[in-house]
Amino acid sequence: MGLSSSFERIFLKKIDGKNSHDWFELGAMEKDPEKKVEYFRNTVELKPDFVGGWTVLGNAYAEMGEYEKAMECYNKALSICPKYKEAKYKRRNLEKKMKEAELKPGT
C-alpha cells in the first residue's frame, strides 16, 4: 500500500460528504448531547484509532446519563493509548459517579 492509498484511507473517507475532522468540529460546537453522540460516532467510525474522538464520544454519552456507553468509549480510548490522561481522568470520575449512584436509594 502506497502513501497515496494511506492518505485516501485516512483523509478522504467520508460520511454524508464530511470527513472525520469535519464531524469532530461539528460535535465540538454542538450543544445537543444526542447530536454530539451522532457526530462523534461518525468521527470514530471514520477514524477508529482516534483516541480524542473516543474520549469526547464518552463525554457526550456521560452527559446524557448513558454511563455504561461512556465507560466503553473511555476504555476504547485507553486500549488505543493506555497513557492518555484525559480518558483516564474521565473514566476515574465516571467510576466515582457510578458508585455514588449505586449508593443512593431509589436508583
Share of the chain above pLDDT 70, in %: 84
Asked if residues 62 and 56 have their Cβ atoms less than 8 Å apart, the reply is: no
| Segment 103-107 mean pLDDT | 60
Q: What is the pTM of this model?
A: 0.84
Report the C-alpha gap between 85 and 2 in whole angstroms: 33
Asked if residues 43 and 18 have their Cβ atoms less than 8 Å apart, the reply is: no
Per the prediction, the chain carries an average pLDDT of 89
DSSP state of 104: S
| Segment 64-82 mean pLDDT | 97
* Confidence (pLDDT) at 64: 95
* Confidence (pLDDT) at 6: 60
User: What pLDDT, in 10s, does the model give residues 49-58?
Assistant: 999 999 999 9
User: What pLDDT, in 10s, does the model give residues 13-42?
Assistant: 898 989 999 999 999 999 999 999 999 999
